[in-house]
Structure 1
Amino acid sequence: MEYVIRLKRIYLPADVSDGHRILVDRLWPRGVSKEKAQIEYWHKEIAPSQVLRNQFHGGKITYAQFKQLYMDELEGNPESGLFVDGCRKWLETDCVTFLFGTKNEEENNAVVLRDWIMKKLEMLAFPFD
Structure 2
Amino acid sequence: MGTVRILRVYEEPEAGEYRVLVDRLWPRGVSKSKVDLWLKEIAPSTAVRSAFDHVAERFEAFEDDYTQELSHNPEVPRLHELIAAHEKLVLLYGAKDPLQNQAAVLLNFLNTTS
Is the structural similarity TM-score above 0.5? yes
| Structure having the higher Rg | 1
Aligned twin of 2:94: 101
Would you say the 8 A contact 1:84–1:120 is kept in 2? no
Q: RMSD of the TM alignment (CA)? A: 1.9
Distance in 1 (alpha carbons) for counterparts of 2:25 and 2:45: 11
Deviations 1:20-75 (A, max 9, x none): 1111111100011113x2x1111100000011111101649611111111010001
Per the alignment, in what secondary structure is the counterpart of residue 22 of structure 1? strand
CA contact (8 A) 2:7 2:13 kept: no
Tell whether the 8 Å contact from 1:24 to 1:98 is kept in structure 2 after alignment: yes
Query: Counterpart in 1 of 2:104?
Result: 111
Aligned mate of 2:51, from 50, 55, 65: 55
Query: Percent of aligned positions with the same letter in both sequences?
Result: 35
CA gap of 1:58–1:101, structure 2 versus 1, over 3 A, is closer
Matching residue's letter, 1:89: A
- In structure 1, the partner of 2:74 is 78
The count of aligned residue pairs is 114
- Identify unmatched segments of 5+ residues in structure 1: 122-129
Letter in 1 for 2:32: K
Task: Give CA-to-partner distance per residue, 1:69-97, whole Å, 9 cap, x none.
Answer: 1010001112222222222222xxx1111
Which of 67, 86, 100 aligns to 2:63? It is 67
- Counting only pairs closer than 5 Å after superposition, residues 23-62 of structure 1 correspond to structure 2 as 23-35=21-33, 37=34, 39-57=35-53, 59=55, 62=58
**Distance in 1 of aligned mates of 2:58 and 2:9:** 24
Letter in 1 for 2:108: D
C-alpha distance in 1, partners of 2:45/2:68? 11
Counterpart in 2 of 1:125? none
Question: For structure 2, which runs of at least 5 residues remain unmatched after alignment?
Answer: none
